Amino acid sequence: MNTELLTKIKTPVPFLDLAAQDGGLRDEVLLAFENITDSSHYVLGPYVESFERAFAEAVGTRHCIGVNSGTSALHLALIAAGVSDGDEVITVPMTFVATAWAIRYVNARPVFVDIDPETYTMDVDQIESRITPRTKAILPVHLYGQSADMTAIMEIADRHGLTVVEDAAQAHGAMFDGKPVGSFGQSACFSFYPGKNLGAYGEAGAVVTNNDAVAGRIRALRNHAQNQRYHHQELGFNYRMDAFQGAVLGIKLRRLGVWTKQRQRLADSYQMFLEDLPIVLPQQGDRRSHVWHVYVALHPERDQIREALQRQGIQTGLHYPVPLHLLEAFRELGYREGDFPVAERVGNECFSLPMFPNLSRGHLNDIAEALTAWFE
């Protein structure tokens, strides 16, 4: 560790700086908030509807239903896919825990397959060996901003009569074979948690789909399962999107393309600066356009690396240190250490470098210098 570096600490480098991104939106957002307050239409309403139309168009689907979180989106998408008691849903152990919560909410069982060592998304060669008569759906995750192999997944699902629900919570605008993620499966779920590539000023999410019946059912379910006031068809939920969130998302969606390009340029710079270091850098898989929700590198001594960076004011993250099959909450599933070696390696060795559209060149240089110094 080069101690000389410690003496030339510059400004701290945050892992994520949302304020920098939002500065240019202030006037537009405040005007929308004023309109909402004047109209007293705080839940759903015109801002949510207009965002739903714009987001469906961006993804290339017929419908978008705004809800109050990505987790709620997954829950409703699985209900609408007909997943219920005793069914199995094939997914990955390297993801945010909400992917598997949703499967448990409908009393189904998450069946994990390992991730591919290059893209860290579902290893499609392992799917078929996990299909049983109880398998109902495949739930791939477009992890870290990169699409799973949707051609292979759709082909396997079609062959076995399974429904595909995409977890696109980390991949707004990512593509596979030139097609946006979210437009492959029966439905796809997005999160607009503030730290996501498209983030609200609070909690929000959405389901997109081309299926009219699925869209209608989810639209009813999010609002206490009523198509008509006080006529409830089934067990419903209060999963509605706030008007404020719809307004912010509509305003931010117009900038998403520019922000994605900024992320892609930062990823190119990381690649250029770090490629000679003995760390595993993230790769963009074949036929994919990556939107770099997070920039995840691997090294066996990641805890020491993170501490060294922290001492220089550089914040890093972990996505995700404990694969789902080893979580206490899923102990009943009966998995053990060693079951999914690629996911476990990522869990043990991952560290996420700062990645957000306004990350400055200067900060990126500081990060590269600090990492290079650590290896010297």
Chain residues in the site for ligand PLP (CB under 6 A): 69-71, 95-96, 98-99, 141, 167, 169-170, 191, 193, 205
Residue among 120 and 193 whose Cβ is closer to ligand PLP = 193
Query: 142 and 164 in contact (C-beta within 8 Å)?
Result: no
Exposure b/e, 10-19, CB count within 10 A at least 16 = b: eeebbbbbee
Please state the closest distance from residue 12 (CB atom) to ligand PLP, in A.
25
Spatial strand order of the sheet with 135-138 comes to 63-67, 205-209, 187-191, 163-167, 135-138, 88-91, 109-112
**C-alpha to C-alpha distance for 188 and 140, rounded to whole angstroms:** 10
| 3-state percent helix, strand, coil for the chain, nearest multiple of 5 | 45, 15, 40
Identify the CA nearest to 218 among candidates 241, 195, 198.
Answer: 241
Identify the CA nearest to 369 among candidates 288, 294, 270.
Answer: 270
Please state the closest distance from residue 352 (CB atom) to ligand PLP, in A.
12
Please state the closest distance from residue 4 (CB atom) to ligand PLP, in A.
39
Q: What sign has the CA pseudo-torsion 259, 262, 267, 270?
A: negative
- Largest interatomic CA distance in the chain: 70
Residue among 69 and 262 whose Cβ is closer to ligand PLP = 69
Q: Which residue has the tokens 């062959």?
A: 159
Residue among 5 and 108 whose Cβ is closer to ligand PLP = 108
Residue among 96 and 356 whose Cβ is closer to ligand PLP = 96
Tokens of 135: 């398998």
- E strands of the chain, at which residues? 63-67, 88-91, 109-112, 135-138, 163-167, 175-176, 179-180, 187-191, 205-209, 226-228, 231-232, 288-289, 295-298, 350-353
Please state the closest distance from residue 356 (CB atom) to ligand PLP, in A.
15
Q: How many Å separate Cα 107 from the centre of its chain?
A: 23
Residue among 103 and 305 whose Cβ is closer to ligand PLP = 103
Please state the closest distance from residue 206 (CB atom) to ligand PLP, in A.
10
Residue among 190 and 374 whose Cβ is closer to ligand PLP = 190
Tokens of 124: 């499609």
Please state the closest distance from residue 69 (CB atom) to ligand PLP, in A.
4
Residue among 99 and 209 whose Cβ is closer to ligand PLP = 99
**C-alpha to C-alpha distance for 164 and 82, rounded to whole angstroms:** 11
Give the list of residues 6+ apart from residue 149 with CB closer than 8 angstroms, or none: 116, 119, 121, 122, 124, 176, 285
Residue among 98 and 326 whose Cβ is closer to ligand PLP = 98
Please state the closest distance from residue 312 (CB atom) to ligand PLP, in A.
28
Please state the closest distance from residue 56 (CB atom) to ligand PLP, in A.
18
What is the 3-state secondary structure of 51-96? HHHHHHHHHCCCEEEEECCHHHHHHHHHHHCCCCCCCEEEECCCCC
Please state the closest distance from residue 191 (CB atom) to ligand PLP, in A.
3
Please state the closest distance from residue 217 (CB atom) to ligand PLP, in A.
20
Residue among 169 and 364 whose Cβ is closer to ligand PLP = 169
Report which residue's Cβ sits closest to ligand PLP: 70
Residue among 74 and 305 whose Cβ is closer to ligand PLP = 74
